[in-house]
Amino acid sequence: MIQDIANKLDLANHHSNATPEDVKKLCADVLTYGFNAAFVNPTYVALAKEKLGGKAKVGTAISFPLGQDTVEMKVYATQQSIKLGADELDIVPNNALLLFDVTTYSQELKTIVYAARSVNADIVVKFILETGYLTDSQIKTGASAIVDAGADFVKICSGMGRRGASLNDVKLVRESIGDRAKIKVAGGIDTLEEAQGFLAAGADRIGTSSAVKIIEEMHQATSQSF
């Protein structure tokens, strides 16, 4: 049961003061606890790839956290990150476009997916909806556009926006996309109870810097039940 949750967690360090030693510790924890991936900033993708040695995935974030780089910048960063060894990409689209130009929003998504798959057809692509700035209708529209563009996941929140993911966000996204793609959530998910709640609500993956704490909580709860 512990492994069933561990392999749905992405252990992340996207802090601006992350050091190589921090990344090495992150990777060691991913291997120790069996997490799905180590998520690092692009500058550390190659280091994480080396330290994980193919035993877990390496993820990185593109245009994080604002999403307001140009499409050309995002395409370059996407392709470069794949070449450095990233297995999964959490990409921030220009969510402001959902407020006034959905057509351009959709085209950005499609351009980035095409660019990513032209380098690695198997790359896992997630686009981040910063739901704290969007209405329910805009959340659904954005989620549908993400899936229509060919992404593998709709990710709810960067963890650095107005708020983190909510259970209602998961409900709205699932209503919009059905089973056409998976859902990842992030933003202040720090406890076992919160993680279990999101998974029960329909999330497939959780991004958190507290993955070790969550599994240690589960170990403690399991030992106390005997």
The active-site residue out of 10, 87, 90, 152 is 90
Helix axes 20-33, 45-52, angle to 10 degrees: 40
69 labelled catalytic: no
Closest to 15 in 3D by CA, of 55, 43, 50:
43
Centre a 10 Å sphere on the Cβ of residue 179 and count the other Cβ atoms it contains: 7
Q: Helices then strands (H, E): number in the chain?
A: 9, 8
The active-site residue out of 49, 57, 182, 184 is 184
Separation CA 41–CA 44 (nearest Å): 6
Closest to 12 in 3D by CA, of 184, 164, 208, 212:
208
8 labelled catalytic: no
140 labelled catalytic: no
In sequence order, the β-bridge partners of residue 88 are 59, 124
Separation CA 143–CA 127 (nearest Å): 9
- 32 to 11, 39, 111, 202, 222: CA distances (angstroms): 12, 15, 37, 26, 18
Residues tagged active-site: 90, 155, 184
